């Protein structure tokens, strides 16, 4: 009857994210995760021998997912514009704000070093963007504005209306396509 194997791992990972969101990032306990995942504590510890390993897996799982989504978004994007794909993918994630990734705060609370893989990821992504984007200033503006939106959604700052957000996204796509120009100064 048991369908063991990888299924459990994913269930546990999802449960951890749920618990972090519902009980607060500081109250993510192994007992709670096990219960939520419908798994015994022993079973949890069998899959992730320590809490640190759980957190690490959480981070890596998320990164891998994002990476795959990015590659796919790029394929769907005109001329394979990476920056535009990044903007679009991020915007899509911000819309479905159902799961505000609170698990990341759990990981940071556990040990700030869990951010290291994210740092590497972010750095590599930025380097790729630098290599592929002709207008560097436009890249800077776009990239950081997207990160700003991500930050706002992470902390749940709802500062923009639906329209305003769409307006910003379309501005960003314009800039990403190199449509940024100095305005002539009035004499």
Partner DNA sequence: CTTACTGTACCGTCTGGACGGTCTTGTCAA
Partner DNA sequence: TTGACAAGACCGTCCAGACGGTACAGTAAG
Q: Which residue in 14, 47, 77, 150 binds DNA (CB under 7 A)? A: 47
Say whether residue 89 binds a copy of itself (CB under 8 A): no
**Binders of a copy of itself: how many residues, by CB under 8 A?**
54
Least separation in angstroms between CB 29 and a copy of itself:
13
**Of residues 184, 178, 97, 73, the one with CA closest to residue 135:** 178
Say whether residue 168 binds DNA (CB under 7 A): no
Least separation in angstroms between CB 10 and a copy of itself:
25
Q: Which residue in 17, 91, 110, 133 binds a copy of itself (CB under 8 A)? A: 110
DSSP conformational letter for 184: P
Question: How big is the chain by its Cα radius of gyration, in Å?
Answer: 20
The full DSSP string for 69-137 is HHHHHHHHSGGG-HHHHHHHHHHHHHH--SS--THHHHHHHH-GGGGHHHHHHHHHHHHHHHHH-S-HH
Binding site for a copy of itself (CB under 8 A): 24-26, 102, 105-106, 108-112, 115, 118-119, 122-123, 126, 136-137, 140-141, 143-152, 154-160, 164, 167-168, 170-172, 174-175, 178-185
């Amino acid at each position: 009857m048991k369908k063991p194997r990888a299924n459990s791992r994913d269930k546990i990972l999802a449960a951890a994210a749920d618990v972090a969101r519902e009980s607060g990032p500081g109250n993510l306990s192994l007992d709670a995760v096990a219960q939520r995942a419908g798994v015994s504590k022993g079973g949890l510890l069998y899959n992730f021998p320590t809490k640190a390993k759980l957190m690490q897996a959480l981070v890596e799982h998320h990164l891998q997912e994002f990476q795959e989504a990015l590659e796919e978004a790029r394929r769907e994007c005109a001329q394979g514009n990476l920056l535009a794909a990044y903007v679009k993918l991020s915007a899509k994630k911000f819309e479905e704000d159902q799961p505000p990734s609170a698990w990341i705060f759990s990981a940071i609370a556990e040990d700030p070093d869990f951010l290291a893989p994210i740092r590497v990821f972010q750095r590599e992504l930025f380097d790729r963007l630098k290599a592929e984007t002709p207008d560097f200033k436009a890249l800077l503006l776009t990239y950081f504005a997207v990160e700003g939106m991500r930050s706002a959604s992470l902390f749940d700052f709802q500062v923009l209306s639906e329209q305003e957000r769409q307006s910003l996204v379309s501005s960003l796509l314009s800039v990403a396509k190199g449509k940024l120009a100095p305005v002539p100064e009035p004499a």
